[in-house]
Chains A and B, each alone.
Chain A
Amino acid sequence: MKKSVYKSAMSRLRTSDDFKEATYQKLMLELDKTTNNSTVQKEPIIMEKSKKKWTGWTVGIAAAAILTVGVISINQNQNNPASTPTNQEQTAEATTKPPIMGKVAVNIDGVISEVSPDGKSFKVGDLWVEVTDQTQLGSSEPTAAEPSEELLQKDFKVGNIVSGYTAQDVSTGKVTADVIYNNIAPQADNGGKPATTAKVQVNIDGVISEVSADGKSFKVNDVWVTVTPDTIMGIDGPTAAEPSEELLQKEFKVGNAVSGFTTEDLSTGKVNATRIYNNIAPQK
């Protein structure tokens, strides 16, 4: 046998034309599968982080809404027209349950009563909050706008309204903030002139304690709210679902939990509802 005959025969042997490409594709598929498997292993961790962030964000919004109502109510009761502008249309319904697993995010919300000499810690209520390099300033949500100078001031000063959260134990009296969403300076004195040029929206949120005879007005937190033909019912928007009968009952009854908002002055004790998000019958 001559070497060249065997070699030539083997060289002529027909193999699949696309063997290289098919093999390469198969290998890349396998590589993707391997990568995906390692991603799946990481997923619970990612989910947990995401849940924590989302919970913190939701609780933060709800608390900010309550805080805003409180601040506005105080301002209105003191006949101070210099109301604080609010982030509009916040749903006060967001009474989220604490997560079953993972750290509990605790809100930091209130007015700064004291600031440390280095300016990196401040006191809200009885809690000292430290802001470190690890503290995230502003929201990192994908749809969140860049934090403005007005809503997230660089310096923490006495009187500023702050909101954020921490995952640390607040019972120690000192925590490090995980996220600071807002650091808003109090409204400067402008000679007693009304500061607002736009309407202020005030949340209506609570349980109906009284209903008028015609059923079109109800009393929530000492304020009579009237539902007019102009009142918008439910949540609109491109992604909003149709309001269900359960969440938005037609009749306002004593004991129902309502949420919505008005642009009228609460201090008069009687307002027309601009929008009603929910009218939920109490649980039986």
Chain B
Amino acid sequence: MYNSYELNESVRRALDLYSQSMIKIAFAYLKNIADAEEVTQEVFLAYLQKRPVFENSEHEKAWLIRTTINKSKNMLKTGWFKSRNPVPEDLSYLPKEENEVLQAVLSLDKKYRIPIHLHYYEGYSIQEIAVIMQAKAATVGTWLARGRSLLKDKIGGLENEEICL
């Protein structure tokens, strides 16, 4: 259990360390920065209310990512989210190559783009992704392979990529 001071410090530290990662994961799901930030705030609210106890910082990060994924899924399911027709996020400020790659990943089905994001951005292995996504490692491997294959069709490359197993 935390006292309020420890809790405040713990939240502030988690905000500093993990908020950007969480926003990016939520963005990979929702394709919108405002929604991603909202989801991230909800995750921190859950963190504050549930006050989970972690074994180490990796455990803490994994919990935050898992919760971000869950809350992003929940947001995708909501009626208001489905019914709206949002303006696509303006990514024109990114260099051309980065913009193309990012748009290509975002155009993938979410079951492919989340493992790709966790692997290419967060650097997680297939086993780690499997734990976070509560899926079998083989399934994650398949998602990654298919995702890469789809990306290859869109932007080329990837054939020499290695995924650590």
Please report A residues at the B interface, Cβ cutoff 8 Å. Answer: 1-3, 5-10, 12-16, 19-20, 23-24, 26-28, 30-31, 34
- Interface residues of chain B, those whose CB is within 8 Å of chain A, are 4, 7-8, 11-12, 15-16, 19-20, 23-24, 27, 33, 36-37, 40-41, 44-45, 48-49, 91, 93-95, 97-99, 101-102, 104-105, 116-117, 120-121, 148, 151, 155, 157-158, 161
Which of A3, A6, A12 has most B Cβ within 10 Å? A6
B33 in contact with A13 (CB, 8 Å) = yes
Is there contact, CB below 8 Å, between B101 and A6? yes
- Given known A1-B155, A20-B15, A20-B16, contact A12–B98 (CB-CB < 8 A): yes
Known: A10-B27, A15-B33. 9 other contacts (CB 8 A): A10-B24, A13-B33, A13-B94, A19-B23, A20-B19, A27-B11, A27-B48, A31-B8, A31-B48
The residue in B20, B36, B120, B151 that gathers the most chain A C-beta atoms within 10 A of its C-beta is: B120
Inter-chain CA distance A8–B20, complex, in Å, is: 13
Q: B interface, by DSSP: helix, strand, loop or mixed?
A: helix
A1, B44: Cβ atoms closer than 8 Å: no
In the assembled complex, how far is the CB of residue B123 from the closest CB belonging to chain A, in whole angstroms? 8
Q: Quick check: A27 and B44 within 8 Å, CB to CB?
A: yes
**Could you list some 26 contacts between A and B, CB below 8 A?**
A1-B157, A2-B157, A6-B101, A6-B105, A6-B117, A6-B120, A9-B99, A10-B24, A10-B121, A13-B91, A13-B94, A15-B20, A16-B33, A19-B19, A19-B23, A19-B40, A20-B15, A23-B15, A23-B44, A24-B15, A27-B11, A27-B45, A28-B8, A31-B8, A31-B48, A34-B49
User: A8 CA to B91 CA in the complex, in Å?
Assistant: 13
